[in-house]
Structure 1
Amino acid sequence: MFPPDSDYRDERLSESDTRSKLIDPALRLRGWTEAHIRREETAGAIDIVDGRGKRRRGRTDYTLRVRVTPDAQPVAVALLEAKKNQLPPDHGLEQARLYADSKRLNVPFVFSSNGYFWVMFDRSTGLTSEPRPMSEFPTPEELRARYEAMMGFRLDSPAARPLLVRYPGGEGTRRYYQDAAIRATLEKLARDATQEKPGRALLTLATGAGKTFIAVQLLKRVADAGQLRRALFICDRDELRQQALAAFTNVFGTDAAEVKRNPDGSNHAKNARIHIATYQTLDVGNEDGTANFLLEHYPENYFSHIIIDECHRSAWGKWSQVLLRNPDAVQIGLTATPRQLKLPEKTAGALEDEAITADNIRHFGEPVYEYDLAQGIEDGYLAACEVVRAQVDIDETGLSIDQILALKPVDAITGRPLSREELEELYEKTSFEDRIMLPDRVKAMCADLFQRLLETGGPEQKTVIFCVRDAHAQAVAREMGNLYAEWCRENGQAPKEYYAFKCTAASGGNDQLADLRGSSNSHFVATTVDLLTTGVDVPCLRNVVFFRYVQSPIAFYQMVGRGTRIDLASDKLMFRVYDYTDASRLFGEAFLTRYTRPEGSKEGEPGDEEGPGPDNPQPPPQPIPQVEGVSVLVRPAGRLVVAQVDGQEKLIPIEEYKERLSERLVQAAPDLEHFRRAWVHPDERRQLVDHLVRSGYSPKVVQVVEEMTDYDLYDVLAALGYGMNPLTRLQRAGAFGYKHRDWMGTMPRRTAATVLAIANQFSRSGTEALESPQIFNVPEVVRAGGLPALKELGEPREVLRQTKERMFEA
């Protein structure tokens, strides 16, 4: 085989030039037009520039899509990875395979090409083809036939009709993984329909990834395909119902309504096509639920489609009647919890998680699509996560009954002295603040946390502290408020109202959620038990704190999920997990999906991770021992970040993360000069950063966690990999003026002033500012002389190139 004739055969081309000069023309000859090719761009990392968030360029993946009719939504079937024309055609195949699977783009075929030859990996067979010339690249018709054979249905069949419905308002609002999740679901439902099986699908996406958007778009496309009769969207909290109602009415209008009982006893959603309910409104919230509302207003097979939000929250108790009474309905489960958890300890909460997971897998099947926290961070859609661990000494050693008795314990409510017998019945290790209250422990932990807040931006950061029980939440809120008041007094500052407040079901915490979310002058620290564990959006939340022991991996992931959203309005790009109870051990474990329920336990019985609330009432009152005079020491126990390692979500110490990132950087660019040369060429720079990110280690994570957002990524990486003394963007731009005074002295005065004005833009936006075509429209550059002044020296593009190269000279 010989490569096709080409004017570029002996020329070294970059990846982008290989694509534009070799691959794109060859694809067009095989019938692939722009209508068939989609550039899927990730959000990209975020920099803070002049006090505002600015995104860097994200990763771009090229998908090949087939179209059944000119008006139909194109369906992605393949990923195409382009490599430099001097590399083997399969050079990028392994990388591309990672991004084609069910955790990325969800396409069955992966191509890699150097512009002359191509190779293809088929996910269904696991086979990789031999290199073949571009003149033999599969046509859209040939790839469609392969896709249909693999999927088991034809794209022009009724079962596949929702796949061909366009997004309302176009594709500009969806993210690549949301489209992949929607396609994966519709493909699974089309296969089920073709095989005459009930439609079932399970989706696993990290909190903040937009599961509600996916649910709305799924039902809209099914409805527009003429296959929706009535749909039920069910969740487990009023706050989540209101969020969902807003999203559905934005697309369906009055066809969407919340399920609730009107004053006359009728169903408020009776005439709607989309019913949005909570378990509680259907009277199936727990084992004691009567299901009266469900049975009264919804006969069997009333719904054609049911979506269960946060399906991991359920234990297949009373609420399962919703599914069992609609066996013919398409049923879709949504969850933010990882599909597999290797349970490190067989606690009651962990065993309950196993049961829920096994039930979900048995009912819905294996997830059709997964998108985890680490991937969301890598793509720039979710906030970077730093984990700060601390150890409380008495939690490690425990307190003996004799030690407690020596401190004269009393009932925290009545003040009555407690006997040894009462203590022995109540007390066990790690039951602090649950069965025994230690005010000194609360004070020590709060003091440590408050000091950490002072060191990372000040006390007025939106923070959620997860506590053991309502009384513990009250004590923590009181202590954090006292620490803040004292700090304000010492610093001559007027304290803001409602600094710390209890936000639990027992205290009517819903009333203050709006202030936690929206107010910038009050409600900074919320102490809770379980009210904020799921679904409630607080984008500005910067800290998630564990003062309680967590046994349930599901509960842990839901708690952490409160911090994952990026919020540009408050410049929130990362969040911290402060872990005082080793809860973060539950990050990223693999998990069992089959479980046999212990004999004697009830199906649907809530695990002990559920806090007090209307669906999980407090047990009968017991004495609450309170012990004062205990010496408590809180010690630092390390800083870690969440990362993807070999496709798995892992928790890695920051120093180890930086070491691994440095190793991969030096492998790609052996010394500082190689790195500098790559950095000043946009294609090579993007390829270098993409290589680091795809290997699981993001420079942006280091930049944010080490609080280097005033530095260009060039300096972050140069310091990390080559020991260079980093300069901030402002320092580097300032140094340019005196380092290159002689060079600018050879220029006309206006030209030199313009070059200096261009260099000053680096202080605001970094490397990419020097490559922006809009740089000549910046007022400072225009005032100095602008484009006409550069033309006095020759080709403006060449002057820009030299300016950029000199910016990074030692």
Structure 2
Amino acid sequence: MDSIDKKSLSERDICTQFITPSITAAGWDLHAQVREEVTFTDGRVIVKGRSTARGPKKRADYVLYYKPGIPLAIVEAKDNKHTVGAGMQQALSYSHEDCLDVPFAISSNGDGFLIHDRTGTYPETEFQIPLDQFPTPDDLWQRYLRWRGISDQAEQIVDQDFHDDGSGKSPRYYQAKAINRSVEAIASGKDRVLLVMATGTGKTYTAFQIIWRLWKSGAKKRILFLADRNILVDQTKTNDFKPFGGAMTKIRNRKADKSFEIFLSLYQAITGPEESDKVYKEFSPDFFDLIVVDECHRGSAKDDSAWREVLDYFSSATHLGMTATPKETQYISNIHYFGDPIYTYSLRQGIDDGFLAPYKVIRVDIDKDLQGWRPTKGQLDKHGNLIEDRIYNQKDFDKSLVLEPRTQLVAQRITEFLQATNPYDKTIVFCDDIDHAERMRQALVNCNPELVGEDDRYVVRITGDNKEGKEQLDFFIDPESRYPVIATTSKLMTTGVDAKTCKLVVLDQRIQSMTEFKQIIGRGTRIDEDYDKLFFTIMDFKKATELFADPDFDGDPIPDEDYDPLSGGKGTDGDPGEGDTNGDDPPPPQPGVKKYYVLDTEVSVVAERIQYYGPDGKLITESLRDYTKKKVMSRFASMDEFLQTWNAADKKAAIMSEFEEQGVLFEALADDIGKDLDPFDLLCHVVYGQPPLTRRERAENVKKRDYFTKYGTQARAVLEALLEKYANQGILAIESMDVLKVDPLDDMGTPVEIIKLFGGKDAYLAALKDLETQLYASAS
């Protein structure tokens, strides 16, 4: 190989001829331990307005594993025109704790390797070695074990394989981190472990792999998985936990069959207020080696919870808590019980990686919510009850006092939104209680008579007291089932509902609990590309989304009040008259009156604003125009700077993509301005105050210059067609080579034949650049 001119080789050639042979020569199994060109994120979904795009994915040139799922090193390659260490910065960013979290970052250009050691087991943190001295798998593994403080005894557990079903499915990078950290902690003797993972990131699959490795290694022989929703237990048993097969059972009918090894149970199935309900006592206190507590932020974290007694009874077992929303309050602390989380994967991280859907918020302010409402002297409600004379406000509405025209207004606004987007988009409407959910169902039915006429399941109420509604839950969460489309609820659907295709979450519920808010937002965060679900909309009528501004929204732990819907706390579906109160709700109506119902009052929307998810993980609360101006001015202080960069760019799409990643929303901005403007004109107008031209006006200006005459007849026809495409669809449409495959250009020949009309691809691209120059000439 010494005769090869390395400088002439591509990066891929360097990998194939130098880096990969050096790695395999050191004993790394090319099939089991070496993965090349590993893409480990999906790329953040960028909501442009009505459409979406994906941001760049993170991709490592090599990831080296001791075993599948246990990464030890990142190797970044460069061609030989670069130095050995030119890829180190990228390798370090991928090896960092908040990314793949591997101990060794390595860079190479084919001459040797530069190694960065995070373990402290080498004499130097960063050092260079020749190609033929790449470390062996066992060498890096032993250094990894010392770095993690894993003993020889614990190594036998940590070394256990992940479950492989042969389908090619493997844990995402953050799942593998959660699994590995949990197994290592438990193998090292930690008896309380907490994992925090955002809703929709695969907590149950993560739990399965943890249990599998501990069970297969023999470290934990009998395991109990506890959940608080029957649907969660059933889904777990039939889906993620299916490989346990005959070793697994679900505790039901308050009977304990001790012949199994993996037990799944509802809390309610093994305990209760009466001694006869306490089925868990049929097991000896040392029966279970491991208890996994799903959604441990709720009742199980409370010192005086009836459910906590289960954990206390099996105190000798290892307890693993999993939650999306850890609690830390004066009254509740699962941090105190489980300890600080050993790993947290937040909603923001999930959105940034492209595994979770971003959102936009439509904030709707209603006049009576802002101004309050007071009855006239002696006013009666629709049932003839004398309404107490005081000022009622948003805290009262739908709890102690119902303004029925307000309910109609909310239903009408939901209907208008769906009609403008897609009337069959799955929608959950969160109401204050069951009565409110029923009234909202009726209002939505009356707003959509034709759609309800097609199928009366277009709108359903799914609450804890309604058997018929609950029977529709499986159909609602099934992507292949069109109906139900709209579900009204209060508390039942806040958790345990894997509605991947839900595109609209409506908040007509006063939410003061950060825990409840995060759970509700989690109903929309799942992505389903097969059904075009890449983002979702939150329509907020009761200022609930102000909680997004709380620093603790995506933080850990969460200061929160005592919200506990499933252990008899406030706001349960079983108590339709109460909501989450935070102790500051107004007094109830006069004795004997549950609520006042008011028909004769006018209600109107006084303000409506759209807020988008920004690149920093926060809502863009300023106007789109102000936000755009700030972002563009930070990059181009003057219009001359902007024009120079725009005109010099080979593809305008690159500049647009750069701004979109920073949160500049061209489609939404065009809608706000109300004109059919090119992104160029949008920026010139909004940022630099220039009078804008529409795309059609720019196209007509080019035609007037008659610059096409220098091209042959057929080439001229192509350029004229491209100009018309620009006028109708914009600059991105003509910059793509795919434009040559669609009407009307496809009638002019194949892409190859069209390009030949210009004398080749370079000449065609030069002509396209010339066309773009003409389009923007008037601004120069």
Could you tell me the TM-score, scaled by structure 2's length? 0.75
Task: Give, as a single letter, the amino acid of the residue that structure 2 aligns with 1:139.
Answer: P
Q: Distance in 1 between matches of 2:680 and 2:92?
A: 27
1:311 alignment partner, SS class: coil
CA 1:461–1:133: 2 relative to 1, 3 Å: same
Structure 2 counterparts to residues 111-510 of structure 1, below 5 A: 132-133=127-128, 135=130, 139-140=135-136, 143-153=140-150, 157-162=154-159, 164-165=161-162, 167-169=164-166, 172-190=169-187, 193=188, 196-198=189-191, 200-261=192-253, 266-267=255-256, 270-284=258-272, 288=273, 292-314=277-299, 315-316=301-302, 317-337=305-325, 354-355=329-330, 359-399=333-373, 403-404=374-375, 406=377, 408-410=379-381, 415-418=383-386, 420=388, 430-454=395-419, 456-485=420-449, 488=450, 495-508=454-467, 509-510=469-470
Segment drifting more, 464-473 vs 174-183? 174-183
Q: Distance in 2 between matches of 1:616 and 1:289?
A: 26
Q: Distance in 2 between matches of 1:615 and 1:231?
A: 39
Q: 1:624-664 deviations in whole A, cap 9, x for unaligned? A: 2223333333233422233452xx65665572665566467
1:431 alignment partner, SS class: coil
Q: Distance in 2 between matches of 1:427 and 1:92?
A: 64
Deviation at 1:276, TM superposition (A): 2.0
1:639 alignment partner, SS class: strand
Task: Give, as a single letter, the amino acid of the residue that structure 2 aligns with 1:627.
Answer: V
Deviation at 1:92, TM superposition (A): 7.5
CA 1:185–1:431: 2 relative to 1, 3 Å: same
Deviation at 1:478, TM superposition (A): 1.1
Deviation at 1:534, TM superposition (A): 0.5
Segment drifting more, 505-514 vs 540-549? 505-514
Deviation at 1:525, TM superposition (A): 1.7
1:440 alignment partner, SS class: helix
Unaligned residue ranges in structure 2 (runs of 5+): 581-587, 672-677, 687-691, 776-780
CA 1:266–1:525: 2 relative to 1, 3 Å: same
Q: 1:496-552 deviations in whole A, cap 9, x for unaligned? A: 423322211122332121332347554222111111101211122111111111011
Segment drifting more, 310-319 vs 467-476? 310-319
Contact (CA 8 Å) 2:200, 2:525: kept in 1 or not?
A: yes
* Structure 2 residue aligned with 1:342: none
* Structure 2 residue aligned with 1:559: 520
Task: Give, as a single letter, the amino acid of the residue that structure 1 aligns with 2:71.
Answer: A
Contact (CA 8 Å) 1:234, 1:279: kept in 2 or not?
A: yes
Task: Give, as a single letter, the amino acid of the residue that structure 2 aligns with 1:511.
Answer: E
Task: Give, as a single letter, the amino acid of the residue that structure 2 aligns with 1:642.
Answer: Y
Deviation at 1:25, TM superposition (A): 3.1
CA 1:292–1:614: 2 relative to 1, 3 Å: farther
Contact (CA 8 Å) 2:361, 2:539: kept in 1 or not?
A: yes
Q: Distance in 2 between matches of 1:741 and 1:294?
A: 89
Q: Distance in 2 between matches of 1:614 and 1:394?
A: 23
Segment drifting more, 171-180 vs 229-238? 171-180
CA 1:440–1:561: 2 relative to 1, 3 Å: same
Contact (CA 8 Å) 1:310, 1:335: kept in 2 or not?
A: yes
CA 1:106–1:525: 2 relative to 1, 3 Å: same
Unaligned residue ranges in structure 1 (runs of 5+): 340-351, 709-714
* Structure 1 residue aligned with 2:471: 511
CA 1:427–1:698: 2 relative to 1, 3 Å: closer
Q: Distance in 2 between matches of 1:65 and 1:528?
A: 48
Q: 1:66-108 deviations in whole A, cap 9, x for unaligned? A: 42xxxx4362134455678888988887776665455432334
* Structure 2 residue aligned with 1:41: 40
CA 1:580–1:658: 2 relative to 1, 3 Å: same
Deviation at 1:554, TM superposition (A): 0.6
Deviation at 1:408, TM superposition (A): 1.4
Question: Number of aligned pairs?
Answer: 727
Q: Distance in 1 between matches of 2:441 and 2:500?
A: 21
Contact (CA 8 Å) 1:440, 1:630: kept in 2 or not?
A: yes
Among residues 614, 627, 637, which one is paired with 2:598 in the alignment? 627
Task: Give, as a single letter, the amino acid of the residue that structure 2 aligns with 1:307.
Answer: V
Contact (CA 8 Å) 1:163, 1:187: kept in 2 or not?
A: no
Q: 1:533-590 deviations in whole A, cap 9, x for unaligned? A: 0121112211111111101101001111111122234322211001111111222623
* Structure 2 residue aligned with 1:711: none
Segment drifting more, 555-564 vs 240-249? 240-249
Q: What's the % identity of the aligned pairs?
A: 23
Contact (CA 8 Å) 1:386, 1:640: kept in 2 or not?
A: yes
Deviation at 1:393, TM superposition (A): 2.6
CA 1:720–1:89: 2 relative to 1, 3 Å: farther
2:410 alignment partner, SS class: helix
CA 1:602–1:312: 2 relative to 1, 3 Å: closer
Task: Give, as a single letter, the amino acid of the residue that structure 2 aligns with 1:107.
Answer: V
Q: Distance in 1 between matches of 2:216 and 2:559?
A: 40
Deviation at 1:27, TM superposition (A): 7.1
CA 1:365–1:94: 2 relative to 1, 3 Å: farther
Task: Give, as a single letter, the amino acid of the residue that structure 2 aligns with 1:175.
Answer: R
Q: Distance in 2 between matches of 1:717 and 1:228?
A: 62
Q: 1:201-250 deviations in whole A, cap 9, x for unaligned? A: 22222222222221222222333333341222221112222221221453
Task: Give, as a single letter, the amino acid of the residue that structure 2 aligns with 1:632.
Answer: V
2:375 alignment partner, SS class: helix
* Structure 2 residue aligned with 1:349: none
Q: Distance in 1 between matches of 2:154 and 2:401?
A: 64
Q: Distance in 2 between matches of 1:318 and 1:807?
A: 74
* Structure 2 residue aligned with 1:537: 498
Contact (CA 8 Å) 2:572, 2:579: kept in 1 or not?
A: no
Task: Give, as a single letter, the amino acid of the residue that structure 1 aligns with 2:70.
Answer: V
Deviation at 1:309, TM superposition (A): 1.6
Contact (CA 8 Å) 1:22, 1:116: kept in 2 or not?
A: no
Q: 1:348-390 deviations in whole A, cap 9, x for unaligned? A: xxxx86257x622122222222222233233222222101112
Structure 2 counterparts to residues 675-690 of structure 1, below 5 A: none
Among residues 474, 485, 495, which one is paired with 1:524 in the alignment? 485
CA 1:106–1:786: 2 relative to 1, 3 Å: same
Contact (CA 8 Å) 2:364, 2:605: kept in 1 or not?
A: yes
CA 1:395–1:306: 2 relative to 1, 3 Å: same
Q: Distance in 2 between matches of 1:257 and 1:705?
A: 52
Task: Give, as a single letter, the amino acid of the residue that structure 2 aligns with 1:181.
Answer: A
Deviation at 1:444, TM superposition (A): 2.6
Contact (CA 8 Å) 1:112, 1:119: kept in 2 or not?
A: yes
Contact (CA 8 Å) 2:507, 2:541: kept in 1 or not?
A: yes
CA 1:169–1:429: 2 relative to 1, 3 Å: same
Contact (CA 8 Å) 1:574, 1:704: kept in 2 or not?
A: no
Segment drifting more, 464-473 vs 221-230? 221-230
Contact (CA 8 Å) 2:250, 2:265: kept in 1 or not?
A: yes
Q: Distance in 1 between matches of 2:211 and 2:608?
A: 47
Contact (CA 8 Å) 1:80, 1:111: kept in 2 or not?
A: yes
* Structure 1 residue aligned with 2:68: 73
Q: Distance in 2 between matches of 1:216 and 1:726?
A: 56
Could you tell me the TM-score, scaled by structure 1's length? 0.72
Task: Give, as a single letter, the amino acid of the residue that structure 1 aligns with 2:545.
Answer: S
CA 1:483–1:661: 2 relative to 1, 3 Å: same
Q: Distance in 2 between matches of 1:117 and 1:740?
A: 55
Task: Give, as a single letter, the amino acid of the residue that structure 1 aligns with 2:141.
Answer: R
